[in-house]
Chains A and B, each alone.
Chain A
């Protein structure tokens, strides 16, 4: 009986979470003319790829995806690298001091990104980086660094110090210890951090909108928001839903690729305490 209630509860939560996703996909696959037809059909009678093809052929959606991959990928790599170096240094300090320093990183994470849009834009303008991928990469790195340091510092702390000392005796340099011992041993945490940072970058809207105003530099969320129909009164729902559905694909792929490490990363902390 308990089991049944539990199953029903899980099922309804899943339904609640996944229905919008399902609705997006099914709208994307409806032929253009049938999107608004009543009565509502929950399963498309005919599956059409029209919307998906349109998104790529009539609009520079491929370009948006590429922009997002460059900005998000670049920011993820830079964030991980900077966070790894910082966390490695923090690990060398005694725990209390390290946590005191880490708390200051968190102050940065408390500020909502929207609050930063204007100052960041002014700075990027001064640096002539507007419409440059570097602007987004730098901004995303700064925003994600507190979280990434938090994750990696905790992960690095789990590696016993004797390993570093053995490495020092073996002749490793400090950077070799980081790259050849600490990082390989922290793979699960690196994977989790990378995925979460990448998802943030992939979904981020307001900074992408303001720092990359040229249409050729739109990222996916900006591109979708600004998809417009033939006239100002027409909203191309079919194409928008096709674009949204496509947008989730890379995230699903990334998570699938790192699934094993992500699960490991989310559980190791729990067991070891």
Chain B
């Protein structure tokens, strides 16, 4: 059963302006850690707020645990949210911050004390319960915000960029912890982020959004290998994908700058964008399709270097252990099976079958 299901959700904030969400259909499997990924302004936070009930959709249905939730007020939706800036009550101690949701739901004092203690132990904040939020570090505040959500044991957790206000080091540690934590309690989580690494590493189910629409949803590795849209291909991946404009005709790709061409199993005739991931380029080798060009930029990354080689109008980036000199002519190659084709106009993926 889907823990959260959205049917045809649309939302625009100002009448007639660009909609924040356009006809969203989505099912989050029960117990999944679902990452909602996209650039800022793509509607991902709006989507989360609609599930929370903080925002009303213009059209469409929200189902939580199989029940239509459109008319259910947020407090009765059995969802808990962790806000980007934590939104802790500054005038209440940590204990009260965590407990207040239960207090307002009429849970008995002893039961609350028990639950708060359990959650505080789980998040290792048991020594902080008597402090005020401003006496805590960012990471600690974030744990309190999490505790406030966890203590209610909701059907669905909604996390709005919970790591974005943390230092890089704390963020990395918290990232792994969060994943373990939510796996441990088998909770359904909707996790909004604009960081593709975070989304790839944490999600069981990934939703890639752009300009109010879902470009692709599915398993992260599947999305990585088989992107359905040019936007997805460009947004996901540790290194930006290389894309070359060109034309497909008679089973052959010809780049627009006439720098190279190769045979493909593609049968369509169209203006396209050929895309290939930097990790699929093999430097200093002559495989199926070999190219060579001038090294224009070297970006050292520790164990390897990110090398940019200019061929025609395109800069090809690849990882290479050896450090070449700028201006050097370097060869590299790739296999045509790793090349992805997208329609130049619609951005949709073209596959050999169609």
Contacts and interface: CB of A to CB of B under 8 A. Distances in A.
Contact of B75 (A160, A162, A168, A185): A168
Contacts of A172: 75, 104
Interface in B94-114: 100-101, 104-105
Interface residues of A, number: 15
A172 B75 CA distance: 8
Given A162-B87, A163-B87, A181-B89, A169 B79 contact: yes
Contact of B101 (A171, A176, A181, A185): A171
B270 interface: no
A38 interface: no
Contacts of B104: 170-172, 176
A24 to B, nearest CB: 41
A172 B87 CA distance: 14
Interface in B71-88: 74-75, 79-81, 83-85, 87-88
A168 B74 contact: yes
B66 interface: no
A130 to B, nearest CB: 43
A155 B292 CA distance: 64
A165 B89 contact: no
B75 A171 contact: yes
B322 interface: no
A165 B91 contact: no
A181 to B, nearest CB: 6
A166 B88 CA distance: 8
Contacts of A160: 85, 87
Question: Which bucket holds chain B's interface residue count?
Answer: 20 to 34
A184 interface: yes
Given A171-B105, A184-B91, A166 B81 contact: yes
Contact of B74 (A169, A181, A184, A185): A169
A185 B90 contact: yes
Contacts of A166: 81, 83, 87-89, 148
Contact of A165 (B54, B101, B105, B148): B54
Contacts of B291: none
A169 B101 CA distance: 8
Nearest to A159: B90
A163 B54 CA distance: 12
B100 A170 contact: yes
Nearest to B52: A169
Interface string A170-205: 111000100001001100000000000000000000
A267 to B, nearest CB: 17
A184 B92 CA distance: 10
A264 to B, nearest CB: 13
A124 B325 CA distance: 92
B100 to A, nearest CB: 6
Contacts of B101: 169-171
B91 A185 contact: yes
Nearest to A168: B74
Contact of A169 (B75, B85, B88, B91): B75
B205 to A, nearest CB: 23
A176 to B, nearest CB: 8
Contacts of B87: 160, 162-163, 165-166
A170 to B, nearest CB: 4
A162 B91 contact: no
A167 B101 CA distance: 8
A97 to B, nearest CB: 13
Interface string A135-176: 000000000000000000000000010110111111110001
Contacts of B74: 168-169
A163 B53 CA distance: 15
Nearest to B80: A169
Q: Which of A160, A163, A185 has the most CB of B within 10 A?
A: A163
B91 A168 contact: no
A182 B53 CA distance: 21
Nearest to A162: B87
Contacts of A185: 90-91
Given A171-B104, A184-B91, A162 B148 contact: no
A261 B52 CA distance: 36
Contacts of B83: 162, 165-166
Contacts of A163: 87, 89
Contacts of B84: 162
A162 B53 CA distance: 13
B174 to A, nearest CB: 20
Nearest to B79: A169
Interface string A216-257: 000000000000000000000000000000000000000000
Interface of A: 160, 162-163, 165-172, 176, 181, 184-185
10 contacts: A162-B84, A163-B87, A166-B87, A168-B74, A169-B80, A171-B104, A171-B105, A172-B104, A181-B91, A184-B91
Interface of B: 52-54, 74-75, 79-81, 83-85, 87-91, 100-101, 104-105, 148
Given A171-B101, A172-B104, 8 more contacts: A163-B87, A165-B87, A167-B89, A168-B74, A169-B79, A169-B80, A181-B89, A185-B91
- What are the 5 tightest A-B residue pairs by CB atom distance, in nearest-first order? A166-B87, A171-B104, A162-B87, A171-B75, A170-B101
